[in-house]
Structure 1
């Protein structure tokens, strides 16, 4: 029997069986091989209300948001930057567990958090923008619209978690 979604298929633990090593401040920190769902809780909390902020920005700009709309929305929420930074710290506390205190002793700069978050999102394969997008945002009931691609493609791997073979790529460990 073939499954559409196989949660038992190979996971990132196979690629990073001992976790994802990150060098910072001369020390190595190990992040979990898979992103725990709970790690997003601080960022998506009702108290922080980033979804509300994004909605407000988009509503005030009729979907064409610029720096002015973002800054205006931030001024209406003066405690947001501090709450956001705390949410980032909480997220890293979840990811690092017992290593978190040692990580904080290295006194990470905002740029360190940005670079680390950017790197980890690539490894984890998570795009925060997609988390905020409506699930049906690409669908249309219009009679004049048509799908841009067929429902199935030959490029989808047979097993969840596996990558399609690419003869043009070369393996490199670094």
Structure 2
């Protein structure tokens, strides 16, 4: 018997959704998304051809002293006239990766833009993705300040060897004050 420091299979959503994420898509139709988001499903959205990351970078740079400058955001979008079609193609490709053979069944119900938005929103919650936090933390992590340094190289030597042992301090009710 071996002991693992980390077992990545223990926390998988297959435990919560052993048969996948079954999703109703029509009156009498359903498709099944994988319990875990496959890494390859992000490839179409993050492709260099789509350049969504570049657009987000341009939007982040469009922020002036009084907030986001709309004219710069609009200019960044208009520099990419093929973006809407490429984005829709990337969304379809992502869903094709997620659904595999069931993608044709999904397409037969002719999902609307609203259907894609609602479904994507629900799936990001189930998959545990928070894109707003990811993008916000990536933008906020940039800093012009110097990197902080360690305050004391030997600061851990004062840690007790016996973890969880009782402290030798008197209880406040035991004091003679």
For normalisation by structure 2, the TM-score amounts to 0.71
Which of 107, 112, 131 is 2:110 aligned to?
107
Q: Report the aligned-residue RMSD.
A: 2.6
Q: CA deviation at 1:75?
A: 1.2
CA 1:15–1:52 in structure 2 vs 1: closer, same or farther (change >3 Å)?
same
Instruction: Please list every run of 5 or more consecutive structure 1 residues that lacks an aligned counterpart in the other structure.
Output: 144-174
Greater relative contact order, per chain length (Cα 8 Å cut-off, separation 6+): 1
Following the alignment from structure 1 to structure 2, what is the Cα–Cα distance between the partners of residues 125 and 66? 31
Mapping for residues 67-82 of structure 1, pairs under 5 Å: 67-82=70-85
Following the alignment from structure 1 to structure 2, what is the Cα–Cα distance between the partners of residues 103 and 59? 38
Following the alignment from structure 2 to structure 1, what is the Cα–Cα distance between the partners of residues 42 and 138? 17
Structure having the higher Rg: 2
Q: CA deviation at 1:78?
A: 0.7
Q: Does 1:47 align with 2:49?
A: yes
CA 1:81–1:134 in structure 2 vs 1: closer, same or farther (change >3 Å)?
same
For normalisation by structure 1, the TM-score amounts to 0.72
Q: CA deviation at 1:13?
A: 0.1
Following the alignment from structure 1 to structure 2, what is the Cα–Cα distance between the partners of residues 125 and 90? 21
Number of residue pairs matched? 142
In structure 1, the partner of 2:100 is 97
Following the alignment from structure 2 to structure 1, what is the Cα–Cα distance between the partners of residues 20 and 125? 15
Q: CA deviation at 1:40?
A: 0.4
Tell me the SS of whatever aligns to 2:95. helix
Following the alignment from structure 1 to structure 2, what is the Cα–Cα distance between the partners of residues 118 and 67? 25
Instruction: Please list every run of 5 or more consecutive structure 2 residues that lacks an aligned counterpart in the other structure.
Output: 149-177
Which of 58, 61, 86 is 1:83 aligned to?
86
Q: Is the 8 A contact 2:59 2:76 kept in 1?
A: yes
